[in-house]
Chain A
Amino acid sequence: MDGLITVEHLHKSYRISKRGKGIPGMLANLVAPKYEKKDAVKDISFQIAEGEMVGFIGPNGAGKSTTIKMLSGILYPDSGQILVDGKVPYRQRKQYVGNIGVVFGQKSQLQWDLPVIDSFELLKAIYRIPDQTYKRNLARFTEMLDMQEFLKQPVRQLSLGQRMRADIVAALLHDPKIVFFDEPTIGVDVVGKETIRTFIRELNAQDQITMLFTTHDMQDIEKTCKRLLIIDQGNKVYDGALSGIREMYGTTRTLDLELQTEVQVAPIPHVTISRPDDSNPRKWQLQFDHHAVSVQELMGFLLATYPVRDLNISEPEIESIIRNIYGGRQSE
């Protein structure tokens, strides 16, 4: 199956004008433009199949929002190709955007002064949503997201979590085939986040809606996406299964060891040994790459050599793996 979304060698830079304001600055700008160029997206390619749900992550300023804006037809790329559902977003804007939904967690699309339901009614007219579809979707989504009690409340009176849920529904009323979420959980509390994740997961499973999901919370990704796309400084650094990332980057294992007596643990090849707790000299921590050191042999050796009271092996949290991937470039 070919990709529903195909992105090839996408590049986008922002030109930040260095001239001042006012007529003099403006004239200077027209005569001799002075820009600072900032490559937000350098060279990104990927494909997403219909019905897929992809986590899209990267550190601040990596170029995620810029990519989403190009995918949704807001920005023109400098070079490269985007084809979504057979259309070029920025060229066939009017036909295209009726098929997609976009949620920018940082920017609400609701009418600030009006009740939530009024914004929905407006969207119904804008997207030419048939009565039946509108009623069905509204009933279904408000039920799923538990929004009944604040539908008639002005948006400015809503909590952040409530506003976010309303914004998500606003992006879905017209039955989009593809939805881009740019930080739809930002600022939302734990319970609210869980509600949103469950909703997104169910929607993807039941309606086969294709989704791209940007967030800084790895729990969001772990609970919703199977596939992960990581970008950093405008380049793609990982594209594959969420589980695969452990194989690739998370090969470090941590072995926590507690001995019955105060014995010194002697150096072992390829293993970093440290004492995690100064107040307890019987506790040791061993770190190693599980491709370089066999867990089985190491454990056998430890049990045979030392008076072991307790032993525990842990895999790294996906969170810290990601942190390492991001951090890796700084040490390079």
Chain B
Amino acid sequence: MQSDTIHLIGVYLKTTAKAWFQYRVDAIMRSLAVFLREATGVVVIYLTLMKFQDLNGWNVYEMLFLCSLLFLTYGILIIFFTGLRDFGNTVRKGEFDRYLLRPRGLLFQIIFVNADWFAAVGHGCLGISLFLVTAGKVGVVWNVGTVLYYLFAVLGGVLIQGAIFLLLAALNFYLLETDSLKELLYYDMKKFAAYPISIYSKVIQICMIYVIPFAFVNYFPAQFFLRKQDGAVYPFACLYLTPVVGGGVYLLAYLFWRYSIRYYKSSGN
């Protein structure tokens, strides 16, 4: 990145922070709210899992380990993809006009104008602490290889979810609204991904591997460390494919996005 790009990111950050501190109480309340909401979520998952004791061979900590990957990737995701997640509003209000009028990359602007650092801190902290606790409990052995694997898996997981947001964002150029589709393609899939995919029907499993590859965000990376019995039915290579799948689907979504911009209609006054 060029130095003036980094400088601009800094100015965006300063601007966002300044706007936040116009409503100081609001900002603090909001990050607290994010943290509490997510933490409650974790507690609920914990209590639910306690009931099962064992789900297709996964114990409570193994399943929390599975979940920690969701939290962690989401924490990183919303630093960079909040603008794409909420892109429908931007398009409907015609605010995409402004991005198009600036001599800067479109995705670059969407990402850094809307970067949600506060919420990211909330999600990220939760993800990391959940991960640290559970990784110890499930007996992950750390060495250079596993650390590298883990970093790439997180990166791939962020890209997979980012690609879904990017795809949905591009669809806003064609459709009146994409909120219900986002519910289906992202949030519902994410809820499924909180449990080992082997507990679901064949259709949902296929969907989560081949259509909306959420299984690569957390199930397969978790399997890489845990090697639970239920994973034996899936191709062995899946354990290593997260970064490839991430890069691949992101590229596809990006090409679709590039193509779709021409259909932007702006808005009348």
Contact = CB atoms under 8 A, between A and B. Distances in A.
B98 interface: yes
Interface in A122-140: 122, 125-128
Interface stretch (B32-40, B177-185, B215-223): B177-185
A65 interface: yes
B51 interface: no
Contact of A95 (B97, B103, B266, B268): B103
Nearest to B7: A125
Contact of A22 (B7, B105, B180, B269): B180
B264 interface: yes
A23 interface: yes
Given A69-B266, A121-B11, A125-B11, A26 B181 contact: yes
A154 B105 CA distance: 28
B180 A26 contact: yes
Interface stretch (B12-20, B116-124, B244-252): B12-20
B100 interface: yes
B180 A21 contact: yes
B15 A94 contact: no
A98 B11 CA distance: 19
A275 interface: no
Contacts of B19: 111, 113-114
B19 to A, nearest CB: 5
B126 to A, nearest CB: 29
A94 B105 contact: yes
Report, as a range, how many residues of chain B touch the other chain: 20 to 34
A74 B181 contact: no
A24 B8 CA distance: 42
Nearest to A17: B176
Contacts of B181: 23, 26
A179 to B, nearest CB: 12
Nearest to A154: B22
B102 interface: yes
Contacts of A25: 176
A94 B180 CA distance: 33
Interface residues of A, number: 39
Given A26-B180, A106-B269, A107-B94, A73 B101 contact: yes
A126 B10 CA distance: 11
Interface string A26-49: 100100000000000000000000
B94 A97 contact: no
Contacts of A306: none
Which of B100, B177, B264 lies at the interface centre, i.e. has the most chain A CB atoms within 10 A of its CB? B100
A105 B176 CA distance: 26
A120 to B, nearest CB: 11
A74 B97 contact: yes
Nearest to A182: B269
Contacts, number: 85
Contact of B100 (A93, A95, A111): A93
A126 B8 contact: yes
Contacts of A128: 4, 103
Contact of A114 (B18, B100, B175, B176): B18
Contacts of A322: none
Interface in B227-243: none
A206 to B, nearest CB: 24
Interface string A89-108: 01001110110001010110
Interface string A234-258: 0000000000000000000000000
Contacts of B7: 125
A265 interface: no
B265 interface: yes
Contact of B101 (A19, A23, A76, A97): A97
Given A21-B180, A128-B4, A118 B266 contact: no
B191 interface: no
Interface in B68-106: 94, 97-98, 100-105
A93 B97 CA distance: 12
Contacts of B175: 17, 26, 29
Contact of B103 (A26, A90, A94, A122): A94
Contact of B18 (A109, A118, A126): A118
A72 interface: yes
B111 to A, nearest CB: 14
Contacts of B98: 109
Interface of A: 14-15, 17, 19, 21-23, 25-26, 29, 65, 69, 72-76, 90, 93-95, 97-98, 102, 104, 106-107, 109, 111, 113-114, 118, 121-122, 125-128, 154
Ranked 6 nearest A-B pairs via Cβ: A98-B103, A125-B11, A76-B262, A113-B19, A125-B8, A106-B269
12 contacts: A15-B265, A21-B176, A23-B180, A26-B181, A73-B100, A74-B97, A76-B264, A93-B100, A94-B103, A97-B103, A127-B103, A154-B22
Given A26-B180, A72-B101, A107-B269, 19 more contacts: A14-B265, A17-B175, A23-B181, A23-B184, A26-B176, A26-B178, A29-B174, A72-B100, A74-B97, A76-B264, A93-B100, A94-B103, A97-B100, A111-B15, A113-B19, A118-B18, A122-B11, A125-B4, A126-B104
